[in-house]
A and B are shown apart, each in its own frame.
Chain A
């Protein structure tokens, strides 16, 4: 079973990488971009097929390692 975890910076946290990408997009002529925030994606494959167990494990994974909850939010899709 496949799951995806998306980790993003909390709003209000300065994201210099996102800002740099935003500037690059504008200089490439990509129009209408108001702002860019950069995040991380983790694709995790579980051996079993129990979605709720996988979700609980990923919650633990996010709290313990995948996200720094001081500055980041996470979203789990199983």
Chain B
């Protein structure tokens, strides 16, 4: 597994992401700059980390979504290559057109930073093989604009084609109500592209890989990716 992490001006989770990838794959990912035009030869996975690319100016992820490197990321995704976007990375994937919909301001207008349970919707993808289908995991969230919105036809298509990756839930695995931190449609925390080779999600699995910080439920995502290529 050869991974590359794209760093934008304002990214701040690239170190956590690199640590998680190194731990799972046994090799350090390449760190790419947003102004680069190419991915390193043989890249299997491109990761867009969390943070506040370009200061969240204009809209979250909007300017990063049009950065030079994104043409190479789009080409990689079109070839079936794996792409993971977490938090601001998810916003960038939506803004760049790699995933449908948009991340709006949290419905309660608050920045939420807390531990959060998620339900793993399916475990037959490159990202989730090491989880069980329907498993409840605990990771963390830290975002002000994680309220996933799309038009009704898009939501229907995502649901109908099994493209919802993770949903917010409570510790018992119950979806909806108070366990939805941001007002996201259908409690969506993450979605796949049509080919299920692109995943965007708001929560931070890369921060839950070490018992020292309160849990290791994020590890399986990176271990799944390590075994995928």
A residues apposed to B, CB below 8 Å: 13-14, 16-17, 20, 64-66, 68, 70-71
- Given A64-B66, A66-B58; A71-B107 close (CB under 8 Å): no
Smallest CB-CB separation from A42: which chain B residue? B58
Decide if B62 touches A16 in the complex (CB within 8 Å): no
Decide if B106 touches A16 in the complex (CB within 8 Å): yes
Complex partner residue of A65 from B66, B101, B149, B150, CB under 8 angstroms? B66
Decide if A71 touches B62 in the complex (CB within 8 Å): no
Q: Complex Cα distance A66/B95, Å?
A: 11
- Given A66-B58, A68-B62, A68-B102; A14-B107 close (CB under 8 Å): yes
- Given A64-B66, A65-B66, A68-B95; A16-B105 close (CB under 8 Å): yes
Known: A16-B107, A65-B62, A65-B66. 8 other contacts (CB 8 A): A14-B149, A14-B183, A16-B109, A66-B58, A68-B95, A70-B100, A70-B151, A71-B104
14 CB contacts below 8 A, A to B, read A13-B149, A14-B147, A16-B106, A16-B108, A17-B109, A20-B109, A64-B66, A65-B58, A65-B63, A68-B95, A68-B102, A71-B102, A71-B104, A71-B149
**Which residues of chain A have C-beta atoms less than 8 A from B100's C-beta?**
70
- Given A16-B106, A16-B107, A65-B58; A70-B66 close (CB under 8 Å): no
Interface size on B, residues (CB 8 A): 20
> Number of residue pairs across A and B with beta carbons under 8 Å?
36
Q: Complex Cα distance A20/B151, Å?
A: 23
CB distance from A44 to the nearest CB of B (A): 14
Give the 4 A-B CB pairs with smallest separation, nearest first. Answer: A16-B105, A70-B102, A16-B109, A71-B102
Confirm or deny: B19 has a beta carbon within 8 angstroms of a beta carbon on chain A: no
CB distance from B110 to the nearest CB of A (A): 10
Q: For window 56-71 of chain B, which residues contact chain A by CB distance below 8 Å?
A: 58-59, 62-63, 66
**Which residues of chain B have C-beta atoms less than 8 A from A17's C-beta?**
105, 109
CB distance from A65 to the nearest CB of B (A): 6
**Which residues of chain B have C-beta atoms less than 8 A from A14's C-beta?**
104, 107, 147, 149, 183
**Which residues of chain B have C-beta atoms less than 8 A from A66's C-beta?**
58
CB distance from A11 to the nearest CB of B (A): 13
Q: Complex Cα distance A25/B102, Å?
A: 28
**Which residues of chain B have C-beta atoms less than 8 A from A13's C-beta?**
104, 149
**Which residues of chain B have C-beta atoms less than 8 A from A70's C-beta?**
100-102, 150-151
